[in-house]
Structure 1
Amino acid sequence: AVRSRFKLNYEMLRFEWTTLHECILQKRRNELKKKRSSTGNVTVQPAPQVALHDDFDEFIDSFAN
């Protein structure tokens, strides 16, 4: 597929293959990196702070007021 895409004969493909292969792999790495970084840009809102109560009665009374 690569040989026909770039219209290379067999000898030229053998000569250029390592460079072409590395370019193809690097493009794939860059696409994966972009994909990961775009999904990592999610903003998480912090949860509201809730007062902790040590005593059950104090906890129940907090709803009465």
Structure 2
Amino acid sequence: MGRIHVDYDKCEGLGMCEAMASDYFELDDDEQMHVLAEEVPGADRARVNAAVQACPVLALTLE
């Protein structure tokens, strides 16, 4: 199982993570990103890791 970490100082609300894993990431109406589930089970790890890697400002990590 992995855990999502967000550097909110870096996050610009671009939404790449939400586009790739909308059950884990969500942008609100003010373009603030919210993690819907911090814990990532093994079955979803590859998909969430791809979303983390797609972040253009490197605000996300998956540990």
Query: TM above 0.5, one fold?
Result: no
Structure in which a larger fraction of residues adopt strand: 2
- Specify which structure has the bigger relative contact order, considering alpha-carbon pairs within 8 angstroms and separated by 6 or more residues: 2
TM-score under structure 1 length normalisation: 0.29
TM-score of the two chains, using structure 2 as the length reference: 0.30
Structure with higher Rg: it is: 1
Greater helix content: 1
